[in-house]
């Protein structure tokens, strides 16, 4: 059921994983950014320069300080960031 990646700069359909990779998050999956306490939810998957690029809605993974998390989300708004697969790892709460 895998879909082929769209042409460079185009998005794959929501929910499609990157085919041929050992671990590949799908749109809607939670992921962790390697070497940080941040992570996010994969919004879309694009191809840039022949590589899969995962567009995340980023935020802190733990709510150690719920007030700080709330303030961050309400003052800054959603943060979107692009990451390659080698910068991500599966999120396991």
Summarised one tens digit per residue, pLDDT across range 37-65 is 788 899 999 998 999 999 998 876 666 66
Compare 48 and 9 and report the one with higher pLDDT.
Answer: 48
Mean pLDDT confidence for 67-93: 80
Answer yes or no: are the C-beta atoms of 79 and 72 closer than 8 Å: no
pTM of the predicted model as reported, rounded to 2 decimal places: 0.63
Q: Where do the domains of the chain lie?
A: 1-88
Residue 84's pLDDT is 93
Q: How far is CA 92 from the centre of its chain?
A: 14
CB 79 within 8 A of CB 57: yes
Greater confidence, 32 or 66?
Answer: 32
Chain centroid offset of residue 23 CA: 13
């Amino acid at each position: 059921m895998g879909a082929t990646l769209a042409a460079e700069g185009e998005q794959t359909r929501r929910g499609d994983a990157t085919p041929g990779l050992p671990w590949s998050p799908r749109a809607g999956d939670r992921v962790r950014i390697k070497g940080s306490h941040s992570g996010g939810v994969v919004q879309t998957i694009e191809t840039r320069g022949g590589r899969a690029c995962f567009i995340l809605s980023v935020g802190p993974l733990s709510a150690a300080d719920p007030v700080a998390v709330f303030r961050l989300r309400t003052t800054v708004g959603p943060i979107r960031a692009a990451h390659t697969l080698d910068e991500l790892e599966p999120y396991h709460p």
